[in-house]
């Protein structure tokens, strides 16, 4: 069975007004639209479009098909016009203990002070749909940190307040990270100095990547302590169709772009800056991996059915991409698949039935028995299934 999924975009202020509406062939939105959730998470559960044109919650539909009412993954279409927060996601163990602790403390699930909305970890993959997608992912290695510190000295002068960070880095990358995630007052002072000096430079810049980071985050969050953590993260620019992976404990912040995000079904976020939302630096310091992370990029492999597959170990989902192909897929119940059509039109043929798929829409494939499905794709389609 193939059914269409629908939901209302989340109106977070960092979203944009055009990406989601253009993709869905709607008029330009009147307010920012940041995320379209396509899953069963209660934070914004998707619905199934019924034959009569009505809507039914996805979890209820799945239960009526004798399937688990909860998908083991959450798919989002994400549109960022300005930086998201500096953040980290917990491991399964941290999620369980953090959730229990906040429950015991009586913090309401809807409270802005809440870090843990559920007991799941949240590894995530981002696939770029825009021509470029910019992100900060993972702490730099020693060479990268040294380059960043030299850029700070170029901006602030050799006598600038970078000596404590040099001293920490002399003891190792882990020591430098410890300084970055625990020295909030020192970070705030340094962020203010950098903000003022950057504004004084009036567009002049150096060759180090951190100059681009500053240009991306300082205008939106001048003086924010998160500027300092952001300075020591790897700046990645994905081209259309490229992907990155963020495991638990890796500090990151998406900067700008439009894309498909797939994750474990969780809304657990611990923020460390670059946001007007709740920031919990001590909790972030508890979760963060104190090591460099320079392997965020994912390279898809060609699967046997000629679809591109993004292989990510240890996650509860798999992602396949089909572009301009006629592909035969063996799909077995009870494994529902979320199909998101990025571009173009496609047709799905199975059991002598044919369904058309349109760009800007998402679908759920939930066969009642093992069957073979043939897809004729003239654009680009992503299939997310339990891993």
Q: What is the pLDDT at residue 326?
A: 78
Q: What is the pLDDT at residue 205?
A: 77
**N- to C-terminal Cα separation, the chain:** 20
- Position 215 pLDDT exceeds 90: yes
**Residue-range domain boundaries for the chain:** 2-136+237-298, 141-229, 301-386
The pTM for the full model equals 0.94
Residues 6+ apart with CB under 8 A from 48: 3, 4, 5, 6, 55, 56, 57, 58, 61, 364
- Position 304 pLDDT exceeds 70: no
Q: What is the pLDDT at residue 201?
A: 81
Q: What is the pLDDT at residue 355?
A: 87
CATH of domain 2-136+237-298: 2.60.120.10
Mean pLDDT, residues 320-338 = 77
pLDDT tens-place string over residues 181-191: 999 999 999 99
Q: Which token pair is 303?
A: 């699967």
Q: Do domains 2-136+237-298 and 301-386 have the same CATH topology?
A: yes
Q: What is the pLDDT at residue 203?
A: 66
Q: What is the pLDDT at residue 384?
A: 95
Q: What is the pLDDT at residue 370?
A: 66
Mean pLDDT, residues 16-34 = 97
Give the C-alpha separation, 320 to 244, whole Å. Answer: 14
| Average pLDDT for the chain | 92
Q: Any idea which of 96-110, 218-232, 239-253, 328-342 has the lowest mean pLDDT?
A: 328-342
Mean pLDDT, residues 292-298 = 95
Q: What is the pLDDT at residue 372?
A: 73
Q: What is the pLDDT at residue 235?
A: 97
The pLDDT confidence band at residue 335, using thresholds 50, 70 and 90, is confident
- Position 306 pLDDT exceeds 70: no
Q: Any idea which of 72-86, 302-316, 346-360 has the lowest mean pLDDT?
A: 302-316
Q: What is the DSSP letter of 226?
A: H
Q: What is the pLDDT at residue 313?
A: 84
Q: What is the pLDDT at residue 117?
A: 93
Q: What is the pLDDT at residue 301?
A: 82
Residue percentage of the chain with pLDDT more than 70: 95
Alpha helices, DSSP H only, in 235-308? 281-287
- Position 171 pLDDT exceeds 80: yes
Q: What is the pLDDT at residue 186?
A: 95
CATH of domain 301-386: 2.60.120.10
- Position 309 pLDDT exceeds 60: yes
The pLDDT confidence band at residue 294, using thresholds 50, 70 and 90, is very high
Q: Return the HEC string of 79-115.
A: EECCCCCEEECCCHHHHHHHHHHHHHCCCCCCCCCCC
- Position 36 pLDDT exceeds 90: yes
Range 285-322 burial, b when 16+ CB lie within 10 A, else e: bebbbbebbeebebebeebeeebbbbebeebbbbbbbb
Q: What is the pLDDT at residue 14?
A: 96
- Position 332 pLDDT exceeds 60: no
**In 3-state terms, what secondary structure has residue 336?**
coil
The pLDDT confidence band at residue 107, using thresholds 50, 70 and 90, is very high
Residues 6+ apart with CB under 8 A from 61: 3, 48, 364
Mean pLDDT, residues 273-291 = 96
Q: How many residues in total does the chain contain?
A: 387
């Amino acid at each position: 069975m193939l059914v269409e999924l629908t939901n209302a975009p989340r109106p977070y202020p960092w979203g944009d007004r055009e990406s989601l509406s253009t993709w869905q062939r709607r008029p330009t939105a009147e307010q920012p639209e940041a995320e379209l959730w396509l899953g069963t998470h209660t934070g914004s559960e998707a619905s199934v479009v019924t034959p009569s044109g009505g809507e039914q919650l996805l979890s209820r539909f799945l239960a009526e098909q004798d399937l688990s009412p909860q998908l083991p993954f959450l798919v989002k279409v994400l549109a960022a016009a300005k930086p998201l927060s500096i953040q980290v996601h917990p491991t399964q163990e941290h999620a369980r203990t953090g959730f229990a602790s906040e429950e015991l403390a009586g913090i309401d699930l809807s409270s802005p002070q809440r870090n843990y909305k559920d007991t799941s970890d949240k590894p995530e993959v981002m696939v770029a749909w825009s021509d470029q997608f910019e992100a900060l992912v993972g702490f730099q290695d020693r060479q990268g940190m040294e380059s960043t510190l030299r850029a700070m000295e170029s901006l602030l002068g050799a006598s600038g307040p970078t000596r404590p960070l040099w001293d920490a880095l002399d003891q190792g990358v882990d020591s430098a990270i410890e300084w970055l995630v625990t020295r909030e007052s020192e970070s705030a002072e340094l962020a203010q100095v950098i903000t003022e000096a950057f504004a004084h430079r009036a567009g002049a810049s150096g060759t180090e990547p951190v100059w681009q980071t500053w240009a991306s985050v300082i205008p939106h969050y001048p003086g924010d302590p998160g500027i300092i953590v952001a300075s020591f993260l790897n700046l990645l620019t994905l081209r259309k169709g490229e992907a990155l992976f963020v495991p638990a404990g890796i500090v990151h912040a998406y900067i700008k772009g439009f894309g498909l995000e797939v994750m474990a079904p969780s809304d657990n976020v611990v923020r460390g800056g670059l946001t007007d939302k709740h920031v919990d630096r001590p909790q972030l310091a508890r979760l963060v991996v104190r090591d460099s992370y320079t392997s965020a990029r994912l390279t898809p492999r060609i699967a046997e059915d000629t679809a591109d597959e993004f292989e990510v170990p240890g996650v509860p989902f798999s992602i396949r991409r089909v572009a301009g192909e006629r592909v035969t897929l063996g799909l077995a119940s009870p494994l529902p698949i979320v199909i998101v059509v990025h571009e173009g039109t496609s047709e799905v043929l199975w059991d002598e039935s044919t369904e058309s798929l349109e760009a800007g829409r998402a679908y759920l494939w939930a066969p009642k028995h093992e069957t073979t499905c043939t897809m004729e794709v003239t654009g680009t389609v992503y299939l997310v299934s339990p891993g």
